Chain A
Amino acid sequence: MNSNRLTNIMIPIFAVLLGILAGAIVMIVSGYDPIAGYSALLYGAFGDRYYIGETIRQVTPYILAGLAVAFAFRTGLFNIGVEGQLIVGWLAAVWVGVSFELPKFIHLPLAILAAAIAGALWAFIPGILKARFKVHEVIVTIMMNYIALHVSNAIIRSVLSDQGFKSEKIHASASLRSEFLQSITDYSTLHYGIIISLIGAVVMWFLLEKTTKGYELRAVGFNQHASHYAGMNVNRNIVLAMVISGAFAGVAGAMEGLGTFENISVKAGFTGVGFDGIAVALLGGNNAFGIIFAAILFGALKVGALEMPSSADVPTELVDIVIALIIFFVASSYLIRLVLNRFKKEGK
């Protein structure tokens, strides 16, 4: 058991190292200096307090998006719709943020709650379709992403603004930003959302590991038929898993809407956070605390990458390649597991 757990932790670490190594090779082959490249990356992510602030800001939605993907996955569902649920959550949070003027202790939780409900509703549709009609959730969630994108764009144009391309700024009472956080990070866009996302991780861990419902959800994930035979309501658990997953995704959107941007603008395409969430969940082993570390890695890569072109002349596209390589190696964990086991045996 113990050695098994060690292997489980070793695999993502190995995958990341291999990804970085392969990225270095790609850089050398393309004629760039990998040491300069990676030090620029590191500097751009943690180099000073401003960059640390930006990295934490980027990590915030990644954690929640990762949790959303992982939660559904633990129940045996692929929620590819995190992106769309995130967008409707963002929209709902900003909507509440601009429409009401309330004291902060009501307004802020209300806006976040609205985002969670919006995301949950958006995920409820594929959930119910899966449970009732056995429609595959992957297809439905992908399509729901596009619906979310275009519907929210239409609402931003017609309801939240007068044919403009962005909503007004949310009232200060709904904002997650604080002068204190800005002052310690030299005006980065860091906001209190990071605390919410860490609480989110604890909530997920508690729900799945410490409650009866969580046990049921996991059981459905392991084996639907056995769970059914054991007297569990599989369909209800599927819907529930999607709804909770969607709520996490909606809150991730609230982080962007109430913290990072403080408004919502018409989007030309997806934010990418929801899709990166899939990689975060994968790298984090669908474990609440693993996801935090995976999100830190992805956030650091994303923010640090911006420094690579200016300090080391490495194009940002290369960073995308490195990220892709890491995902590739995580996905091929079977291979790494094989190698690790081989080494272990030889050691004995």
Chain B
Amino acid sequence: MKKKRLGLSLSLLLTAGMLLGGCGQAKEDKAAEEGKGNGFSVAMVTDVGGIDDKSFNQSAWEGLQKFGEENGLKKGKGGYDYLQSQSDADYATNLNKLVRSKFDLIFGIGFLMTDAITEIADQKPNNKFAIVDSVVEKPNVASIIFKEHEGSFLVGVVAGLTTKTNKVGFVGGMEIPLIEKFESGFLAGVKAVNPNATVEVQYAGAFDKADKGKAIASSMYASGIDVIYHAAGATGNGVFSEAIDLKKQDPNKEIWVIGVDRDQYEEGKIPGTDKSVTLTSMVKRVDVAVYDLATKTKNGNFPGGQAVEYGLKEDGVGIAPSTDNLSQDVLKAVEEWKQKIINGEVKVPKTREEYKEFEATLKK
């Protein structure tokens, strides 16, 4: 009896939902049709960082906005849009939500969405997906990956030449292979130009915990480290705020932050001055990659099943255009190393194992 009643109430709930769904759906479809000016719509799902993380997700959204504006699309259904994830459980729901809103191309921004995209790509073989920072081998998924180790190597060169205390710090987000690419490249860059420098590596365990970033930065600066490179998304904002706080107390203190993903010169601005604590930034042109892929897909050249790689050669990574805090010598050194990497003279390590081999070759 109890079971029966339960079943009844469940099915009631279901029917009610379907009825409601019926009304809702018709409206949605109409809205989608109206917005579809030239028949192409594109959307993205952010990870927990959100589109104002001043880093990775924001860059992707900028690329999408540019694409949308150039093609006369409106923000929203049928044009270009984004959904923000609040937790890991939201990735699949958000991706499916965009599928249901009939977007033509759906981006998953970030490594953490690999599983969700893999699963949904199988379930919805007629939809087009793209993932940034990971490779998903499905015919309806295009993968975008970056050679972050190459860009990190260049900012490593900058850090190695700039540090006065010969102590440099690295703050990572989560300890995943992707961030280890940043770490290995950076370490290699520092050691290549300054074998005496030591690099302290710490992981915050999250991409959205600015307070943790600040705490790590605080202890690093206190221990004499004068340059910190962060590869930690929104967690890195804490590194900036700590550096700015220290600079406010003592404007002559020589401490620097190296930004990541976007040109973070503005993030490092010290209030009341026109100076910035941002030494340079390792720029990862997620915006360019997202824009490129959306354009290609719109023109009918969706690179499904392929992995497009962006490195120094393709201008997908590199140092930021803001160079106010860099000396000519440093810039020259960066340019030299950049050429060496591009013509293959230097092979930048992208894992901790490769870094060990790289370090061994330096000692010879």
B92 on interface, CB distance cutoff 8 Å: yes
Interface assignment of A272: CB less than 8 Å from any CB of chain B: yes
Q: Which of B67-120 contact A (CB under 8 A)?
A: 76-77, 81, 83-84, 86-90, 92-94, 96-97, 100-101, 115, 120
Bound complex: CA A188 to CA B124 (Å): 12
> What number of A-B contacts does a CB cutoff of 8 Å give?
96
The reply to whether A307 and B16 form a contact with Cβ atoms under 8 Å apart is no
Query: Is A222's CB within 8 Å of the partner chain B?
Result: no
Whether the pair B83, A310 counts as a contact (CB closer than 8 A) is: yes
Chain A, 149-191, CB within 8 A of any chain B CB = 153, 157, 164-166, 187-189
Contact of A49 among B21, B81, B120, B206 (CB under 8 A): B21
Annotate B310-347 by CB proximity to A: 1 below 8 A, 0 otherwise. 00000000000000000000000000000000000000
Which stretch in A39-47, A73-81, A244-252 binds the other chain?
A39-47
Q: Are A47 and B17 in contact (CB under 8 A)?
A: yes
* A310-B101 in contact (CB<8A): yes
User: Which chain B residues lie closer than 8 Å to A166 at the CB level?
Assistant: 115
Q: Does B205 contact A (CB under 8 A)?
A: yes
Q: Does B20 contact A (CB under 8 A)?
A: yes
With the chains together, A202 CA to B87 CA distance in Å? 30
Whether a CB of chain A sits under 8 angstroms from the CB of B287 is no
- Which residues of chain A in 31-68 are interfacial with respect to chain B, using CB atoms and an 8 Å cutoff? 39, 42-44, 46-52, 54, 58
Asked whether A268 and B205 contact (CB < 8 A) given A46-B21, A316-B84, the answer is: yes
Q: Is A260 an interface residue (CB 8 A)?
A: yes
Contact assessment for B87 and A187 in the assembled complex, using a CB-CB cutoff below 8 Å: no
Question: Which B residue sits closest to A270, measured CB to CB?
Answer: B87
Q: Is A8's beta carbon under 8 Å from chain B? A: no
A46 and B20 in contact, given A261-B88, A310-B81, A310-B101 (Cβ under 8 angstroms): yes
Q: Report the minimum CB–CB distance from A135 to chain B (whole Å).
A: 28
Contacting pair B206 A268 (CB below 8 A): yes
Return chain B residues, CB-CB under 8 Å to A48. 17-18, 21, 24-25, 100
Give bound CA distance, A263 to B18, whole Å.
31
- B309 close to chain A: CB less than 8 A: no
**B174 and A47: CB pair below 8 A?**
no
Q: Which A residues are CB-close (under 8 A) to B164?
A: none
Chain B interface size, under 10 / 10 to 19 / 20 to 34 / 35 or more: 35 or more
Please judge, given known A-B contacts A165-B174, A268-B209, whether A309 and B21 are in contact too, CB under 8 Å: no
In the bound complex, how far is the Cα of B94 from the Cα of A303, in angstroms?
10
Q: How far is the CA of A153 from the CA of B203 in the complex (A)?
A: 13
**B175 contacts partner chain A, Cβ-Cβ < 8 Å:** yes
Is A265 an interface position by the 8 A CB rule?
A: yes
Q: Give the residues in chain B near A142, CB-CB below 8 Å.
A: none
Known: A268-B209, A269-B206, A309-B84. A50 touches B17 (CB 8 A): no
Interface string of A290-319 (1 = CB under 8 A from B): 000000000000010011011100001000
Minimum CB–CB distance from B207 to chain A (whole Å) comes to 7
Q: Give the residue of A46, A164, A306, A311 whose beta carbon is less than 8 angstroms from that of B17.
A: A46
A332 on the B face (CB < 8 A): no
**A18: interface (CB < 8 Å):** no
- Docked pose: A47 CA to B21 CA in angstroms: 4
Judge whether A187 and B88 touch: CB under 8 Å. Answer: no
Contact between chains at B6 and A271 (CB < 8 Å): no
**Does residue A198 face the partner (Cβ distance < 8 Å to B)?**
yes
B236 CB to nearest chain A CB (Å)? 14
Q: Are A52 and B120 in contact (CB under 8 A)?
A: no
Residue contact A165 to B175, C-beta cutoff 8 Å: yes
Residues of chain A contacted by B83 (CB below 8 angstroms): 306, 309-310
CA distance A49 to B20 in the complex (A): 10
Most chain-A Cβ atoms within 10 A of its Cβ — which of B2, B24, B87, B100? B24
Verify if A207 is at the interface (C-beta below 8 Å from B).
no
CB distance from B357 to the nearest CB of A (A): 18
- Contact residues in A for B14 (Cβ distance below 8 Å): 49, 52
User: Any chain B CB within 8 A of the CB of A331?
Assistant: no
Residue B362 is within 8 A (CB to CB) of chain A in the complex: no
Shortest CB distance A35–B (Å): 13
Which residues from chain B contact A44 at a C-beta distance below 8 Å?
A: 97
Which chain B residue shows the least CB distance to A184?
Answer: B14
Interface string of B183-227 (1 = CB under 8 A from A): 000000000000000000000011111000000000000000000
User: In the complex, A165 Cα to B178 Cα: how many Å?
Assistant: 11
Question: Which of A52, A54, A198, A316 has a CB less than 8 Å from the CB of B86?
Answer: A316
With A46-B21, A54-B96, A202-B2 known, 14 other A-B pairs at CB within 8 A are: A46-B13, A47-B17, A47-B21, A48-B17, A48-B18, A48-B21, A52-B21, A54-B93, A266-B174, A268-B206, A268-B207, A306-B94, A307-B97, A316-B84
Residues of chain A at the chain B interface (Cβ within 8 Å): 39, 42-44, 46-52, 54, 58, 153, 157, 164-166, 187-189, 198, 202, 256, 260-261, 263, 265-269, 271-272, 303, 306-307, 309-311, 316
- 8 A-B pairs with CB atoms under 8 Å apart are A43-B24, A48-B100, A51-B17, A51-B21, A54-B93, A260-B89, A266-B175, A309-B83
